[in-house]
Amino acid sequence: MSGLLIGIDYEDPIVKYRGDRISYTLRKISGKESNIDSMFLIDTYYVHYLPLPLLKPKSDVNQEDNIKYSLLDMTLSSEVVMRNRNYSVANSAVSMALSVSYIQNLIEELERIRRTSQSPEEREAAEQILNGLMKGSMGKEGGEKQQQTQQNQQSMQKLMKQAHEKALSKASEDANAVRSMQRIVGGNGAGTGSVLNFEGEIHEVLRLARNTEIKKILEFLSGIPKLGSLTKKKTTRYAKGELFGYEEGTDLERLVPSELAMPEELFYVRLAEGQLLLYQKQIKETLGPIYLLLDKSGSMDGEKILWAKAVALALYSRAKRENRDFYLRFFDNIPYPLIKVIKSAKSKDVIKMIEYIGKIRGGGGTDISRSVISACEDVKEGHVKGVSELIILTDGEDKIAETTVRRSLKEANATLISVMIRGDNADLRRISDNYFVVYKLDQNDLLKVVEA
């Protein structure tokens, strides 16, 4: 097979890499070798990645490529693909997810029909389409099997369309989840700095995208338009900072040059009276890491922990955009291992964190005191650096050892922000520097916590 798109240099190393990457990813997620024609893999990727992909004229296409041509033509004319194009164009991770998921689901659907259909015609049509996608195969459109009845052709086209639409629908679901993950880590917005592309780990990302728990969290977060802009910028006045305005005063280091043009006597009068025109300057304050304690006890199971997990990912999103380290520790009656995602983390580290969050289930007792003390120990012993605020998400069903916890917070020089999930705890209220209570567990509650 030769490539079927206009304007693609199929000998270009980058183009070949795309095909190899899709083949590798298919093998990783299906657990078996893929024998799909590499040119078809490349074309499937670029119909999503390019802003205006064009197929070659049908008259220029070899007969053995008719099945691939028909599938690409259906893809290009699909309303689903047109909607996806808003975020797939020039987005390699999303385009990779669309192409890999589409091909995997297409092959699986055709193999299912070939194996289980009660209709011999359907089984034969599925076999024919599969053969037409394989390397070095002419399918059943070549040689002696070229002579097909019009009825057989119609049956094959109908089956091809059904399998294509089903595969494309599932691929769109997967790609939406990949897009949501990119959004969470600040990977597809303007002015977000470095991008965590996910392309190199797309098989892991697709596996996460199909995780029921992760899918629920991502769907919840995808409906929050402000999530991508949640940043907390603090500035402080500084003589050698950036210009942001003007003021009157006596600081000659910030003097506006035009003031030197006035008569010397007037200059000194204004200096004595503090009326010289000066530049106002400021610098951005460096924000410390976010350290989150998340209750996973039995009373948190269900909607509470799902909402808390969404808050955790939203807080990570904010940390990423503000160039801050992010620390997460689950707890019930014992503290669980500390999860660290530093500001320079690679995409595989972020994927591991999201996977870990998805695996956690509610269960066990509750020991809030022990969890806060463990966090303070992390700060005092240097396991985390620069932490001054601890955030705890809990429904508060526990008795707090106030004196011990207060002492630990003081020794760690840390403040405590408590978020009560449909609960209240008088002890925790007294020792917290900030205390929030949420009941609805909706997107507004999440924004209230994340923006605080």
Does 426 have pLDDT greater than 80? yes
Cα–Cα distances (Å) from 408 to 315, 405, 417, 425, 429, in that order, read 24, 5, 15, 19, 16
Residue 452, classified by CB atoms within 10 Å of its CB into exposed (0-12), middle (13-18) or buried (19+), is: exposed
Query: Taking all residues of the chain, what is their mean pLDDT, rounded to a whole number?
Result: 87
pLDDT at residue number 55: 96
pLDDT greater at residue 193 or residue 160: 160
The number of residues making up the chain comes to 452
Query: What is the C-alpha separation between 242 and 239, in angstroms, rounded?
Result: 9
pLDDT at residue number 139: 46
pLDDT tens for each residue of 228-274: 555 555 666 666 667 778 889 888 888 899 898 999 888 888 888 88
Q: How far apart are the first and last CA of the chain?
A: 57
What percentage of the chain reaches a pLDDT higher than 70? 89
SS3 content of the chain, % helix, strand, coil (to 5): 55, 15, 30
Indicate the residue type of 358: G
Does 287 have pLDDT greater than 60? yes
In which band, very low, low, confident or very high, does the pLDDT at 171 lie, cut at 50, 70 and 90?
Answer: very high
pLDDT tens for each residue of 98-153: 999 999 999 999 999 999 999 998 999 999 999 999 876 554 444 444 445 666 78
Closest CA to 64 of 136, 7, 115: 136
pLDDT at residue number 345: 85
Query: What is the C-alpha separation between 419 and 446, in angstroms, rounded?
Result: 11
Query: What is the C-alpha separation between 387 and 89, in angstroms, rounded?
Result: 39
Query: What is the C-alpha separation between 185 and 315, in angstroms, rounded?
Result: 10
Name the token pair of 209. 């995208």
Domains of the chain: 13-210 (no CATH), 235-284 (no CATH), 290-451 (3.40.50.410)
Q: What is the mean pLDDT of residues 269-294?
A: 85
pLDDT at residue number 182: 82
- The helix/strand/coil state of 228 is helix
Catalogue the E-assigned strands of 250-334. Answer: 276-284, 290-295, 326-331
Q: Are 69 and 40 within 8 A, CB to CB?
A: no
Query: What is the C-alpha separation between 209 and 220, in angstroms, rounded?
Result: 14
Q: Are 388 and 414 within 8 A, CB to CB?
A: yes
What percentage of the chain reaches a pLDDT higher than 90? 57
Within 10 Å of residue 224's Cβ, how many Cβ atoms? 18
pLDDT tens for each residue of 311-331: 999 999 888 888 889 999 999
In which band, very low, low, confident or very high, does the pLDDT at 35 lie, cut at 50, 70 and 90?
Answer: confident
pLDDT at residue number 377: 96
pLDDT at residue number 194: 44
Contacts of residue 322, Cβ cutoff 8 Å, sequence gap at least 6: 231, 232, 233, 287
Q: What is the pTM of this model?
A: 0.80
Which residue, chain included where needed, has tokens 């690679």?
Answer: 346
In which band, very low, low, confident or very high, does the pLDDT at 193 lie, cut at 50, 70 and 90?
Answer: very low
Query: What is the C-alpha separation between 184 and 205, in angstroms, rounded?
Result: 13
Which of 64-78, 143-157, 278-292 has the highest average model confidence (pLDDT)? 64-78
Q: What is the mean pLDDT of residues 422-437?
A: 94
